[in-house]
Copies of this chain bind each other. A is one copy, B any other.
Amino acid sequence: MSSCYGENLRLSIFGQSHSPAIGVTIDGLPAGYPLDTDALNRFLQRRAPGRTNLSTPRREEDAFEILSGMADGRLCGAPFAAIIRNTNVRSKDYSALRDTPRPGHADYTASVKYSGFQDVNGGGHFSGRLTAPLCLAGGICLQLLAEEGVRIGAHALRIGGVQDTAFDAAHVSETDLDAIAGDIPVLDAQAGEAMAAAIEAARAQGDSVGGVVECAACGLPVGLGDPMFDGMENRIAQAAFAIPAVKGIEFGAGFGCAGMTGSTANDPFRMENGRVVTQTNNHGGILGGITSGMPLIFRVAVKPTPSIFQRQNTVRLSAMENAELSLKGRHDPCIVPRAVPCVEAAAAIAIYDAYLSWKKLH
């Protein structure tokens, strides 16, 4: 199994980098909502390749076609399905990779798992391109959550050693999310410029850089999420690790709280305008797996693009011998900027799914 997600929604993502199309089906969306396809398209464009000279030269329009689930411009209660055609496909670039797997990629593990029958072109189902249908699904959930007063936004907190301003965890608001801007989405434009320079420097050496994406959700009701295996942390983590290259996730103070004492890590409760809030937000808006009404904050670690243009050591599987590899093809020197909307999408899917569970008891 693999590409299904959800308790109330049931999401199924399909497609390979070079198959006729990629897409997503979503069962469980409520009937009646007038989906804004223009807004959905704009959200998808934030992830699309080829927009800036920081990303892969492969340019795809990423125009989606809705196949089902709508009637008269509204969600109609039937399963939603949409696809994106793969148009700009150059399969010959990848033929050698079946035998000499790229370090840091799924080439080797997929080859063993699928006994050599995996689609090797462009990384097949393991391609970052599969985040397009993830964003399609996430973009819909973002719209539905906005209807309920929930806003989600993310920014590049770190790229190649350059740090953006972090969210003020206890006070991040819709206004802060609106302030995120730039080809590299950041709060501090200067940090964004320094990040762009770091990416350019890596590209010049045929190398790549990683980073951290920080995400916040504001306006959540108290009570989303469930104990143990279906807490908000579990749910968001399960969705976020669907983004290739994510290797870590932390909520609130996260790994930082490992070095704290209880007296500094605990967030005291207090009343504010008739509402229960916490003074600080080390808990990242989640206590016992359940939303506290404070901003939900998490960060994910994104590894450097594994496709680099320096010579690398690998093996030749047919001969079971050592080999060398020099990559060609089209690859981002840093995927963090494009990962930002993907992280928002993953968060939106997980949160909206939990929201539907919550609603059935309210």
Q: Which residues does A use to contact B, with CB under 8 Å?
A: 1-5, 7-8, 10-16, 19-23, 25, 27-28, 30-32, 65-71, 74-81, 83, 101, 103-106, 108-110, 112-115, 117-121, 124-126, 130, 158, 160-161, 202, 205, 207-212, 222-223, 226-231, 233-234, 237-239, 241-242, 244, 246-263, 265-271, 274, 276, 278-279, 282-284, 287-292, 301-308, 310, 312-315, 317, 320-322, 356-361
Contacts and interface: CB of A to CB of B under 8 A. Distances in A.
A270 B78 contact: no
Contacts of A247: 233, 250-255, 257-258, 283-284
A340 to B, nearest CB: 14
B117 A313 contact: no
A304 to B, nearest CB: 4
A59 B297 CA distance: 36
Contacts of A266: 103-104, 304, 306, 308, 312
A118 B237 contact: no
Given A13-B79, A108-B287, A315-B271, A31 B118 contact: yes
Given A30-B361, A75-B117, A212-B255, A68 B270 contact: no
Question: How many copies, total?
Answer: 4
A158 B182 CA distance: 38
A68 B315 contact: no
8 contacts: A1-B28, A2-B227, A3-B228, A78-B125, A109-B222, A109-B288, A210-B257, A257-B301
Contacts of A28: 1-2
List the 10 closest A-B pairs by CB distance, nearest first. A106-B288, A360-B360, A248-B250, A2-B226, A78-B125, A208-B262, A71-B119, A268-B313, A109-B290, A237-B237
A158 B259 CA distance: 8
A109 B227 CA distance: 11
A22 B83 CA distance: 12
B117 A32 contact: yes
Most B CB within 10 A of own CB, among A10, A109, A252, A271: A109
A287 B111 CA distance: 11
Contacts of A32: 114-115, 117
A71 to B, nearest CB: 4
